[in-house]
Structure formats: structure tokens, C-alpha cells
Amino acid sequence: MMTAALYTAVLVFFISVLALNVSRNRIIHRISFGDGGCMPLQMAIRAHMNALEQTLPLLPVFWILAWLQQPEWSLHGVGGLLLASRIVHAIGMLQRNFLFRRLGAMLSFLLGLVLPVWVLVAVYLGYPGTAGG
């Protein structure tokens, strides 16, 4: 569970940094509501919102894997990939790097497909901490 807590804290911190970037852009461009048609603000908003949209559904599944007592190395792999995917995607959004955006999105989508299946298999096979088996 400590591993899930660690990656959750780092991801929330990263999302908060992206939120601060939105506020910074609002102050610089003097835009209180909406995006005012300002491209840098639009990019900051989308980078922040995309991080939320992709991270929030995956964190509970990540925590379930930790609760199911999956191997520590695998939890670090999942947490590291999730964090890397969000960082790479945000860089792609903020620097208009389509390759980074695609790579970050692809990793997130892959995690979104693999993690729920992993939970189902772990429950079905009755890993420690589960009622299945």
C-alpha cells in the first residue's frame, strides 16, 4: 500500500503543478474566466484537465492492485508508467510535441486496458488478499 501511496502523492503533486501553470497563465494573460482565445492558456488548461481525466480513473485500480497484494516490483512498474505517461503527455501538450502527446496517451490507454484485466485475473486466480480462487 505504501507504493500506491507514494505514486498517488507524486501524481497529485504533478497535477497541482499543472494547475498552478493554468493560474500562472491566467495572471500573465489577464484572463479570469474561460480561455479568452489565448493559445498558451488553452494548452495549459488542456494539459491539466487531461492529466486529471486520465489519472483519476486509473488510481483506484492501482490501489486495488496494491490491496490485492500484487508484487512490489509490479506496483512500481505500474506507478512509474502512469507517472511517465502523464509527464510525457503534459510536455507534449505544453510544447506542441505531437510525438510526446501520442506516446503519453498511448501509455495511459494501455494502462486503462491492462489494469482492470489484471485485477479481474488476480481476483479469479485468488491471489493473496482476494476472496477468489
Q: Which domains does the chain have, with CATH numbers?
A: 2-125 (1.20.120.550)
Q: How far apart are CA 69 and CA 44, in angstroms?
A: 37
Query: Which residues have C-beta within 8 Å of that of residue 119, sequence separation ≥ 6?
Result: 61, 64, 65, 68
- pTM value? 0.87
Q: What is the pLDDT along the chain (133 residues), one digit of tens a residue?
A: 899 999 999 999 999 999 999 999 999 999 999 999 999 999 999 999 999 999 999 999 999 999 999 999 999 999 999 999 999 999 999 999 999 999 999 999 999 999 999 999 999 988 655 544 4
